[in-house]
């Protein structure tokens, strides 16, 4: 469903040593590296990439979602590196209920550096202050402790268990459902 408060021009965000910008072709090699890492892909709920075309299709998907005001996904670029280390953003906008889904991933070589927490804090602030969202929800694998810590650190509350929520390589996987309400 489209969300009319998504701007026509992609918003650039700056926060604590990070630049959050629109994803582009320069991000494809890092994205491909993350998606060919079986554990990293599995923890994010993504299929393992078999070719660069897989990530090109992903980029096309995110660009189309933004143009159609159905989603917004930022590349996370640390000032110290100058290249993308992952991406986070929103999809599943529910305009009548002012809610949205949060998702994203960081490449393994950049895990445990705080990039996800800082980036998510900035985009959450953007969602509440600019997009006027009232509820952000996230589903994450029950076996992904890093993602659980990030969500809890940001103030998300666990609302439930989604048993067998995703079929991944022939196996059903359980997810936790988390949500954060606009404090305003």
Q: Is residue 118 situated within a structural domain?
A: yes
pTM for the predicted model, two decimal places: 0.92
**Would you give the end-to-end CA distance of the chain in angstroms?**
25
Q: Is residue 76 situated within a structural domain?
A: yes
Let me know: does 123 contact 13? Beta carbons within 8 Å.
Answer: yes
Tell me the pLDDT tens digit for each residue of 30-89: 888 888 888 888 888 888 889 999 899 999 999 999 999 999 999 999 999 999 999 999
Let me know: does 105 contact 83? Beta carbons within 8 Å.
Answer: no
Q: Is residue 113 situated within a structural domain?
A: yes
User: In the structure, what pLDDT confidence band is assigned to residue 183 with cuts at 50, 70 and 90?
Assistant: very high
pLDDT at residue 139 tops 80 = yes
Looking up tokens 């900035």 gives 122
Range of the domain at 123: 13-137
pLDDT at residue 184 tops 90 = no
How far apart are alpha carbons 92 and 171 in whole angstroms?
A: 24
Structural domain tally of the chain? 1
Domain of 92, CATH number, reads 3.40.630.30
pLDDT at 130: 97
Task: List the one residue out of 58, 27, 56, 24 whose CA is nearest residue 44.
Answer: 58
The helix/strand/coil state of 49 is coil
């Amino acid at each position: 469903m489209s969300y009319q408060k998504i701007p026509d021009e992609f918003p650039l965000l700056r926060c604590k040593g990070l630049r959050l910008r629109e994803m582009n072709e320069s991000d494809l090699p890092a994205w491909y590296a993350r998606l060919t890492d079986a554990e990293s892909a599995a923890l994010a709920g993504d299929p393992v990439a078999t070719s660069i075309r897989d990530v090109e299709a992903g980029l096309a998907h995110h660009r189309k979602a933004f143009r159609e005001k159905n989603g917004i996904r930022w590349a996370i670029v640390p000032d110290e590196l100058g290249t993308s280390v992952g991406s986070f953003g929103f999809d599943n906008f529910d305009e009548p209920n002012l809610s949205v889904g949060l998702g994203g991933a960081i490449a393994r070589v950049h895990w445990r550096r705080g990039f996800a927490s800082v980036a998510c804090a900035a985009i959450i602030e953007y969602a509440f202050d600019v997009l006027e969202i009232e509820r952000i929800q996230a589903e994450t694998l029950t076996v992904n402790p890093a993602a659980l810590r990030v969500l809890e650190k940001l103030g998300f509350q666990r609302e439930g268990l989604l048993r067998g929520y995703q079929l991944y390589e022939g196996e059903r996987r359980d997810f936790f459902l988390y949500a954060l309400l606009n404090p305003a």
